Amino acid sequence: MGRLFDFMLPENKSPLTADSTDGLFHFINEVSLVFLIGITIALVYFAFKYKRKSEDDETPVITHNNTLEITWSVIPLIIVMVIFGWGYSGWLNLKAVPNDAYEIQATGFKWNWNFNYENGAQTLNELHVPKGRPIKVVMQSRDVLHSFFIPDYRIKHDVVPGRYTYVWFQAEETGESIIFCTEYCGTSHSDMLAKVIVHEPDEFEKWLELNGGGPSGSPVELGEQLITMNGCQTCHSLDGSSGIGPSFQGIWGREQQFTDGSTAVTDENYIRESILYPGEKVVAGHDNVMVSYDGLLSDDDITNIIEYLKTIN
């Protein structure tokens, strides 16, 4: 059903979570519009009706008007209570996850979203879900405050370091929807984009099976997967183009110049130090914005990453 303020909202692709939000959104806008028009008309009408007509036209002294004061207190009170009740029941709905929800773990970090599935599958900046089934996304942050927002589903929740938060939705059509980070989180906050990809249920099962089991392969392959899953390319290009950080292309054996004027040739120890203590040697022309991966990557992980970086020419 088309409504007056529909143009302000993206398409509703998860009615179970979006309907109450949309209904309330329309109600508030329509009530506001009625008052805006009513008050404007009264204002203009009174301006003409009570215009000062002569020099001795004096304003009468009015102390109060009970009927009027009660009316303009009680009507707004009723409207505000309706909005409160409606908003509260919508909030309860967004907090009450259906029992049969499919659970996916999400981690927000500067400036990517990582998703983990029950069978070990992992994706970066792509949330794969089946259609027509409630999905619960359990979220945590690795560094600072982020916020997980899917406008098409009308869900948004802060992602907080040191605690878990969650959202749920049920996509009713296949296709893609955008995921935003809506909490300012540093240099590339505006690029912290991801998407939901909704599959038919049987296609989702196939996708899951194909991607399950976690990473495997040679050290170079494992290193490549780690680089991909940690979103390193967000800041470090593979093709030589300059980004927030230096490009990975040709990084091995390259002489780096640092912001303090010193230089060093890229070797194992330099890469290891840059991963664990990124602020120690900042390449000239870049800012010290990388977070430490100390505790997030094991020694084996770092060795695999080094093996992969050696191969990027």
What is the contact surface with ligand CUA in residues (CB under 6 A)?
A: 108, 111, 146, 181, 183-185, 189, 192
Pick the closer one to ligand CUA by CB: 190 or 288: 190
Minimum CB distance to ligand CUA, residue 122 (Å)? 19
CB of 158 to ligand CUA, least distance (A): 10
CA–CA gap between residue 268 and residue 310 (Å, rounded): 10
Please identify, using beta-carbon distances, which residue of 30 and 191 lies nearer to ligand CUA: 191
When the beta carbons of 181 and 282 are compared against ligand CUA, the nearer one is 181
Residue number, 235 or 312, with CB nearest to ligand CUA: 235
Q: Could you tell me the smallest distance in angstroms from the CB atom of residue 193 to ligand CUA?
A: 10
Tell me the residue ranges of DSSP E strands in 143-248: 146-150, 155-159, 165-169, 175-181, 194-199
- Closer residue to ligand CUA in complex, CB, 106/305: 106
Residues whose CB is less than 8 angstroms from the CB of residue 194 and which lie 6 or more positions away in sequence, other chains included: 112, 113, 125, 126, 127, 178, 179
Least Å distance between CB 146 and ligand CUA? 3
Least Cβ distance, residue 171 to ligand CUA (angstroms): 23
First to last CA, the chain: 56
CA-to-CA separations, 217 to 34, 102, 310, in angstroms, rounded: 65, 29, 17
Long-range CB pairs of 280-288 (<8 Å, 24+ gap) are 281/256, 282/258, 283/245, 283/246, 283/256, 283/257, 283/258, 283/259, 284/257, 284/258, 284/259, 285/242, 285/246, 286/244, 286/245, 286/246, 286/259, 287/187, 287/244, 288/259
Handedness of CA 98, 103, 104, 106 (dihedral sign): positive
d(CA 270, CA 278): 10
Closer to ligand CUA by Cβ: residue 113 or 169: 113
**Nearest distance from C-beta of residue 167 to ligand CUA, angstroms:** 15
Q: How far apart are CA 9 and CA 14, in angstroms?
A: 13
In the bound complex, what is the minimum distance in angstroms from residue 244's beta carbon to ligand CUA? Answer: 14
Q: Which one, of 277, 5, 291, 17, lies nearest residue 137 by Cα?
A: 17
Query: Cis peptide before 111, with omega less than 30 degrees from 0?
Result: yes
Query: Whose Cβ is closer to ligand CUA: residue 20's or residue 234's?
Result: 234
CB of 106 to ligand CUA, least distance (A): 12
Which C-beta is closer to ligand CUA: that of 19 or that of 143? 143
Question: How many angstroms separate the CA atoms of 286 and 7, rounded?
Answer: 42
